[in-house]
């Protein structure tokens, strides 16, 4: 889920916004600060993302 991906160009009708890098970049930044990111997900209920960055 946190792996960066790229979208294949499609027709105008199938166009979706975004680049697919948000979670990958978030994980990279959090990890660089010595932190951790977690996800809890349930079908039909949505997802909750939690992250911890230690104080130094």
**For 39-52, how does the pLDDT look when each residue is reduced to its tens digit (9 = 90+)?**
999 999 999 999 99
Distance CA 28, CA 34 (A): 10
- What DSSP state is assigned to residue 55? -
> pTM for this one?
0.65
The pLDDT tens digits along the chain (56 residues) read: 666 666 666 666 666 666 667 888 999 999 999 999 999 999 999 999 999 999 97
Task: Spell out the SS3 assignment of 1-54.
Answer: CCCCCCCCCCCHHHCCCCCCCHHHHHHHHHHHCCCEEEEEEECCCEEEEEEECC
Cα→Cα distances 28→9, 20, 43, 49, 50, Å: 26, 14, 26, 15, 14
């Amino acid at each position: 889920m946190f792996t960066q991906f790229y979208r294949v160009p499609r027709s105008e009708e199938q166009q979706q916004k975004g680049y697919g890098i948000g979670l990958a970049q978030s994980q990279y930044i959090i990890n660089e600060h010595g932190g951790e990111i977690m996800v809890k997900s349930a079908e039909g209920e949505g997802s909750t993302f939690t992250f911890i960055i230690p104080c130094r």
